[in-house]
Amino acid sequence: MALIKTEDEIEIMRQGGALLSRALQAAVDVAKPGVTMRHLDEIATSVIEEGGGTPSFKGYKGGGDIPFPSTVCISKNDEVVHGVGSRDIVLEDGDILGLDIGCWYKDLCTDMAVTIPIGNISKERMALLRATRDSMYAGVENAKAGNMISDISGAVEDAIDMKTYGIVRALVGHGVGHKVHEKPHVPNFRGGSFPKVKIKEGMCLAIEPMLTTGTHEIETADDGWTIVTEDGSDAGHFEVTLAVTKNGPEILTPQPEVGI
């Protein structure tokens, strides 16, 4: 599939992104101590389906044999991403909760994520959430035609206090639209063996930094999906889908209000 989207395709992704944002906001609005992950997943599913969309994560295999069982990836505390949202885990005061969600709308897909406070969280956890969100926006600002993908990566890295946080390296942002995951890879750090890619008008990218309060090392839990920090440290994750336009980057998945 082409990396470049037409104006008509971007308009469809804009509509799908607005629907996705509403679904995520609906889940965020009811996320509080005593609520289960499964309940949040059911709410988001209803909003997407009632709006004419289809969850893009549910049933997704991602190269493995186990289809993902829920609409939302819900990840708590030391869970970085890909937490199974259909678990009956009850949220507790002081938790931080990652909500990662995607949907198909008129044959095009968008993707977004936030990490939110549950009840009253520690200053350290609040700082992690803000640092992750701010690094994402730093990357967004550099998603301009004529720049390189590495300019996004460098901006994300430069926005982070590397003495305080680790950047997850095994997982990166990506192109999005015709597939859940498309080329190019969008790392959140400099270096590595990623190909050099120039950013062009019409590209649609998912920018998604993942930070930890420990090292960058991660591992997969026994369920085959949930990614956790190897050292048990906390993790934050924020994501938007954007379109590269002649006027600069346009976020197609407006971030919900999350109280940070």
Give the pLDDT confidence of 200-258 residue by residue, as tens digits.
999 999 999 999 999 999 999 999 999 999 999 999 999 999 999 999 999 999 999 99
Mean pLDDT, all residues of the chain: 96
Residue 63: the pLDDT is 64
Tokens read off for 226 = 């949930």
123 by Cβ neighbours in 10 Å (0-12 / 13-18 / 19+) ranks as exposed
Residue 192: the pLDDT is 73
User: Taking the domain 7-251, which CATH number applies?
Assistant: 3.90.230.10
Q: Are 253 and 21 in contact (CB under 8 A)?
A: yes
Give the pTM.
0.96
Residue 79: the pLDDT is 98
Higher pLDDT, 243 or 63: 243
Residue 194: the pLDDT is 82
pLDDT digits (tens, 9 = 90+) for 78-133: 999 999 999 999 999 999 999 999 999 999 999 999 999 999 999 999 999 999 99
Is 64 a residue whose pLDDT tops 90? no
Backbone angles phi, psi at 240, to 5 degrees: -135, 155
- Alpha-carbon distance of 21 to 24, in angstroms, equals 5
Mean pLDDT of 12-17: 98
Residue 230: the pLDDT is 97
Is 178 a residue whose pLDDT tops 70? yes
Residue 2: the pLDDT is 63
pLDDT digits (tens, 9 = 90+) for 20-36: 999 999 999 999 999 99
Find tokens 């993908």 and name the residue. 149
Mean pLDDT of 156-184: 96
Residue 150: the pLDDT is 96
Is 1 a residue whose pLDDT tops 60? no
Which residues lie closer than 8 Å to 48 by C-beta, 6 or more apart?
A: 19, 20, 23, 54, 55, 71, 103
pLDDT digits (tens, 9 = 90+) for 108-117: 999 999 999 9
Backbone angles phi, psi at 210, to 5 degrees: -130, 115
